[in-house]
Amino acid sequence: MNYHWNWGVFLEQVKGGDETYLDWLIAGFGWTVAVALSAWAIALILGIAVGTARTVPNKWLARAAHVWVELFRNVPLLVQLFLWFFVFPEFLPRELSLWVKQDMPAKEFITATICLGLFTSARVAEQMRAGIESLARGQGMAGLAIGFTLGQTYRYVLLPMALRIIIPPLTSEFMNVFKNSAVAFAIGVLELTFQARQMQEDSEQGIETYLAVTVLYFICAFVANRGMALIERRTRIPGYIGGAK
């Protein structure tokens, strides 16, 4: 292997600028975290709503939620990103479309966040539905029997249980959001993967660059995993396998 190692590259200045490569990576890390966390917020809110809608007695609502899930699950994330970025503005009224294309601030960031949020919401919705369906049938019936409305049954009986049950599968979805945020480079969000490619071309120190970026992604996955584990420990349901005593 014929490779010229240079571990000091991170402190060197970028070509034609007064920043160091380290500054690039830190900025990239910040954008990755920003995209991932904002997308996760969207995914949680919409995913819980859509997943719940899939279990309600109203057929049309359940069907609409099903269509939502199938749409976002069966098209690759990168293609969805291009659809939001290049195609969606064409469907807006003329002035709004022009504004989105030309003047919208942080256009790439917002597009990537919405795209990743909706994509992930379909996955969260599937976990949510599985969580609600895993509850004993009698729980919902008991809620209705003591005079709760359907909404109250969901609010006080089904959702508090289901939300706690689905935390382990949500942990891996949360880690996926960080990993999936890498596709945002394709529309020019200055996140980690974008910076990695840019730094590799600029410095020609590919291995050092990718190692550093890989470690940063590792940190994201690890922190996400531990954070969710903490929540999981505190919300375990007594009496279930793996639950608190």
Partner 1 sequence: MLSNFDFSVIAPSLPFIWTGLKFTVQLTLIAMSGGIVFGTLLALARLSSMAPLAMAATWYVNLMRSIPLLMVILWFFLVIPLITGKPLGAEASAIVTFTAFEAAYYSEIMRAGIQSIPRGQVAAGEAIGLNYWQVMSYVVLPQAFRNMLPILLTQTIILFQDTSLVYAIGAKDLLKAAEIAGKNYNRPVEMYVFVAGIYFVICFSLSFLVRRLQRKIAIVR
Binding site for partner 1 (CB under 8 A): 1-3, 70-71, 73-80, 82-83, 86-87, 90-91, 94, 175, 178-183, 185-186, 193, 196-197, 200, 206-207, 210, 213-214, 217-218, 221-222
Residue closer to partner 1 (CB basis): 153 or 203: 203
Least Å from the CB of residue 45 to partner 1: 24
Residue closer to partner 1 (CB basis): 78 or 159: 78
Least Å from the CB of residue 26 to partner 1: 17
Residue closer to partner 1 (CB basis): 24 or 178: 178
Least Å from the CB of residue 79 to partner 1: 5
Q: Which residues of 116-144 are buried (b: 16+ CB within 10 A; e: fewer)?
A: bbbbbbbbbbbbbbbbbeeeeeeebeebe
Residue closer to partner 1 (CB basis): 154 or 202: 202
Cβ atoms 209, 203 nearer than 8 A:
yes
As a whole number of angstroms, the distance between CA 177 and CA 220 comes to: 10
Least Å from the CB of residue 154 to partner 1: 27
Residue closer to partner 1 (CB basis): 42 or 69: 69
Least Å from the CB of residue 73 to partner 1: 8
Q: Is 164 exposed, middle or buried (0-12, 13-18, 19+ CB in 10 A)?
A: middle
Taking Cα atoms as reference points, which of 28, 50, 49, 47 lies closest to residue 39? 47
Task: Count how many residues are written for the chain.
Answer: 245
Taking Cα atoms as reference points, which of 174, 163, 143, 173 lies closest to residue 236? 163
- The identity of residue 42, as a single letter, is I
As a whole number of angstroms, the distance between CA 76 and CA 63 comes to: 22
Residue closer to partner 1 (CB basis): 129 or 143: 129
For residue 135, give the H/E element and its range: none
Least Å from the CB of residue 222 to partner 1: 8
